[in-house]
Every structure is written in structure tokens, then in C-alpha cells.
Structure 1
Amino acid sequence: MWATMSPAAAREALAGPARVALIRDAAESGLAEAQAVLGQMLLDGTELPADARAGFGWFMRAAAQEYLPALNMVGRCYELGWGVTPDAARAAECYRVAAERGSTEAMYNYATQLALGRGAAEDKSAALAWLRRAAARGFAKAENFVGSFHEDGWATPVDLLAATQCYARAAHGGDFRGCFNHARMLVGKGRVREALAWIGKAAMLGTPRFREQLRDWLAGQGDAELRLRGVAVLDRC
């Protein structure tokens, strides 16, 4: 069925009421992309009852076909214990293989493991190199992490100008932590009103946990305008 269907017909079918059944049919017929989609649906409990173990199984089947997004997700499952016993070393190895084969997200994930020494020997220089490769592809989360390396002096001299530039690129790229870090840099320059706009964007894009961390950060700020208006921004989110 799927081998003979045009891309337009496939898109139309997958947007219809039989979407879940069609995705499952495609996955069972061996289509790696569909296997990865089905795995994500089961992992998230989207359109299907949540079943992390089954989701992990579908990611494994797609990864066996060298589908890099699925291999990266196998790594995530091993890292976070989604449907499988956590195994940091296996997670790092999945990320490494997917990164070396060109997965941008895996580059970021592998770099994180290397930076923290989680599942692989700590190697901040190698981590920075992988982050720069991912950032060069426009991956905003990686750009933000490169900024942290420059700000904290990890594997590179402290360079606040470079950090500021990285955070700005990450913010404009839509990374919520990048938005926050960009706002911090603006606060340091006294540009509070500009910073508030980015704090609002960070709050809208971020997770509930991140919003609570942002609220705690604001509570500790000495600038009354920043503190009060920042909290008001959070309350609207």
C-alpha cells in the first residue's frame, strides 16, 4: 500500500480519521519513519494509551533500520528509563553512533553526556566540539549550551561577549533557556525592559518546572522593576 502511494495521498490519508490505524499498518509493514512515529505516540500517550515499553520496542525496530531519529530516541529511553531499565552507557553509545552518522539532536545529547561524564568519560573539549557542530546546523539548544561553555570557561577561556552572542542566537532560535540567558545578559547591561520581553518568551516556551525556577530567580533580583514586572509576566503565562 505505502510503496505505491504518492506523498500527497499519504499525507491526506494520515490527516484523516483512520490516521492511527494507518500509522500502525505502515509500522508493521516495516516503514521506519512510521515505526518511530508510533513509538512516540505510545511513549507520549498521544492518540493511543501510553505504553512506554511498547514505544521503546518500536524505536528499537526503527533504529535497527538505521533510522537516526529512532536511534536517538533509543538513547533517550535508556537515559531516562522510558520503557526500559536506565543505562547511561548504552544511552551515550546510541547518541555517539547517531551523532557520527549525522543526527543533530544526537550531537547535542552526546555532547551533554560528555560534558557531564554521564555514561561516558567526561570530556568537555569533545562536548564543545559536538555542540558547535549542532549549533552550526541551527540547533538552538546547542547554541545556548555553547554560550554556557563560554560564560563558565569550560574547555575554552571565559568570553562573555561570545556567550552573549550565543545566547542571543539561541533565543532568536526559540530555545527557552536561551531566551532566559539572553534576558540575563540584557539585565546585566541595564536593559530591563528588553529583558522582560525575553523573560515572557522564556516562560511561554518553557516547562512548568522551568517557570518555577524562573520565578525563584526573579525573587532574588534586586531591581524592583524587574522583579515585580517579571512576576506579572509569569502570572500571565
Structure 2
Amino acid sequence: MKMKNMLIGGMSLALVACISIGGTLAYLSDNTGTVQNKFQMVTNGIVLNLQETATPGTGYDVYVKDADGNAQGEKLTKATTLNADTAGENVGFVYKEIQPGATLAKDVKLSIGKQNEDTVSSWVFACVENANGAALNVTVDGVWKKVANQDNKALYLYQGTEASAGVENEKYIPKFNGVKPLTSLFTTVGVPATTEQSAEFTDITVKGYAEQVDNNTYAGALANAKNNFGFKE
């Protein structure tokens, strides 16, 4: 009986203590001034340039193509370069009077960066679309590694000298200042000797894509590049 009373008394004391704390507790508080954090993204972190140079030669004539696909003006008499950023959408070169077996001089080149500005570390991709198949032979330089192929399109990752960082098959161009010309994607287009004179061809199109490396993965950049060029999953 005595033990029972002691236990009850102990419980009562604990209950009283809890009530006492609840009745007197108060939270201390104060206010500070406001600090405004401003965030600004990198501007012009990646500038990618695409240009092509055509040279007239034996077995073909070259004209400049306008946005409507029409040849205009006199045929070229010397090597001429067009910049994709300034020439306008779909502007390029028209090759006429092509003879079977001709090798067309067409130098397609990408460069990355802008004079006196920093470019973030980047993977550089190029997409070549050629619906002509073997009827027009395009041989891409080996420093451009094929990373995807679908229908008439092939996607390449630049792995040349400027891509000096990263692991094998995932090299990228480290951060730099200025402009870096990259190895030409291809420099000629071959017409098989068996081509009939009545043959008709569709355009060969080339587009470039670059994506930052920092806070990113190669798998993510590759997926974005494929999506950018319309590759299907």
C-alpha cells in the first residue's frame, strides 16, 4: 500500500511540473532587415557558328541559293563562303550541270566562341541530313564521332584537338576565351560515276548544336541534341 501511494505521488508531481512549464513558456523573437540576393545567368556562354565554302570546278557550276530555293545571280567564279547566322534560313549553294563522277568542293565548318568573350565548357554536336543516300557521298572527318543515326540523319560529336577534356568518347571543349575553329565536318561531296544524267537530288543540310558541360551529364546533353534535331526515341 505504501508503495502504491509513492507511485501516485510521483505521478502527481510530474503532472504539476508539466503544467507549470506550459503556463510560463514564451518564445523569444526578433526581426532583421532584408538582404536581397540577385541572380544573373551567364550571357552568351556559348556561341556556335556554322559556315560553308563552295568552290566551282570541273564538272559542275555553283550558284547561291536564296530562302525560296532559287539559284540567283551569276555562277560563282571563285571560292565563296556563307555564314549560316547571316545568310538566312535555307540559304546555301546550288550545284548545277553536274557530271557523273564529279567531286564537289563543299567545305562545311563549325566554330565556337566569340572574340574577347568566355565560352563555357561545351560538347559540340553536328547533324547531317542526306536523303540522297549513296547517290551523293558525304564522308565526314574522323574527328567527328557518329553518336546517333536515324533515317536520313546522322549525329556527330566533335572529338578533335580542341576537345581536350573528358573521358574517351565523351570529350568536350574546356572553357576558353575567344574563337576556336573546329575541324571541317566534310570538304567534298562525291557523285558516283554510275549516276544518270537525269538524276535529281535533295538538299544536304547541316546544323550545329552545343551544350554546357558544367552541372550536366553527357547522356543528358546527347538526349537534348537528339531531341533538338528531331531524332525519335
The alignment's TM-score, normalised by the length of structure 2, stands at 0.23
Q: Which structure has greater helix proportion?
A: 1
Q: Which structure has greater strand proportion?
A: 2
